[in-house]
Amino acid sequence: EPEVTQTPSHQVTQMGQEVILRCVPISNHLYFYWYRQILGQKVEFLVSFYNNEISEKSEIFDDQFSVERPDGSNFTLKIRSTKLEDSAMYFCASLGQAFDQPQHFGDGTRLSIL
Amino acid sequence: KQEVTQIPAALSVPEGENLVLNCSFTDSAIYNLQWFRQDPGKGLTSLLLIQSSQREQTSGRLNASLDKSSGRSTLYIAASQPGDSATYLCAVRGAQKLVFGQGTRLTINP
């Protein structure tokens, strides 16, 4: 069964550095999402992306964050000037052409900011 | 603003019991509702999806119901097994995003 792939599985970065989290969504999917889960807290929506532009973003998704689909297969989340509170598990998800289908999630990237 | 609540926060039962996990949401204008399983430190595995027009969905020993008008969903697990131990998350979808509950941490004791 096709799956969403995220790399790396664990990223350790010094505070103030930039990180790029990578995702390969399911190949024929059209809608892409990033969510995050701080340890012990709810999974929170960050941003949705469709037709090469952001379709919705949360209050969390400020100028520190950006997303990009640089080619036909990758979907990336960039975090500039990381802070301690950015430490979390980041999940990528994708959704196919039929809007009534489930969102498919990757296994996540655990981001640790030191 | 949509809020999703799951009760109980944790549940521990002996193997073989049938159990019910509860999910409530404040805004009934949802597109669909998804139940997920999350093992410690791991990703989200989709278990069941219920469309807003549906009342229930079944997959194996799992049955999920939806009462959109009252803002409630339940996940019924039959004949529980130790391998069912995990956190179960409920998420509702509006136009785009999923809004998640805090989850119910389930422990099945052999």
Identify from B46, B59, B97 which residue to disrupt to test chain A contact, counting A C-beta atoms within 10 A and taking the largest count: B97
Q: What pLDDT tens digit does each residue of chain A (114 aa) get?
A: 669 999 999 999 999 999 999 999 998 899 999 999 999 899 999 999 998 999 999 999 999 999 999 887 899 999 999 999 999 999 999 998 777 788 999 999 999 999
Peptide bond into A8 cis (omega under 30): yes
* Residue B59 clears pLDDT 80, i.e. is over it: yes
Min Cα distance B15 → chain A (Å) is 26
**Residue A44 CA to chain centroid, in angstroms?**
11
Cα torsion angle, A111, B47, B67, A96, sign:
positive
Min Cα distance B35 → chain A (Å) is 10
B-chain residues within 8 Å CB-CB of A58?
97
B93 touches chain A (CB under 8 A): yes
**Beta carbons within 8 Å of A29's beta carbon, 6+ residues apart:** A94, A95, A96, A97, A104
Phi, psi for A86 (deg, rounded to 5): -80, -10
Strand spans (E) along chain A: 5-7, 10-13, 19-24, 31-37, 43-50, 53-57, 65-68, 75-79, 88-95, 104-105, 109-113
Identity at A9, one-letter amino acid code: S
Q: How far is CA A49 from CA A52, A65, A109, B97, in A?
A: 7, 13, 19, 11
